[in-house]
A = this chain, B = another copy of it.
Amino acid sequence: MALANKKGATAKLRSAAFKRVRADHSAELAGDYVEMIADLIDERGEARCTDLAMRLGVANATVVKTLKRLTDQGLVTQEPYRAIFLTGDGWKMAEDGKRKHMVVENFLLALGVSADTARIDSEGIEHHVSADTLKAMARFLSRNPIN
**Interface footprint category on A:** 35 or more
What are the residues of chain B within 8 A of A28 when measuring CB–CB? 21
Contact A125 B129, CB 8 Å, known A20-B120, A57-B18: yes
User: In the complex the two chains form, is A124's CB within 8 Å of B57's CB?
Assistant: no
Provide the main secondary structure of the chain A interface. Answer: helix
Contact A125 B128, CB 8 Å, known A15-B56, A133-B108, A137-B111: yes
Q: Which residue of B lies closest to A51 (CB)?
A: B11
Q: Oligomeric state, in number of copies?
A: 2
A18 and B124 alpha carbons, distance in the complex (Å): 8
Contact A17 B123, CB 8 Å, known A54-B11, A137-B111, A140-B111: yes
Is A46 positioned at the interface, with any CB of B under 8 Å from its CB? no
A47 and B2 alpha carbons, distance in the complex (Å): 22
Q: Which residue of B lies closest to A140 (CB)?
A: B111
A9 nearest CB across to chain B (Å) = 11
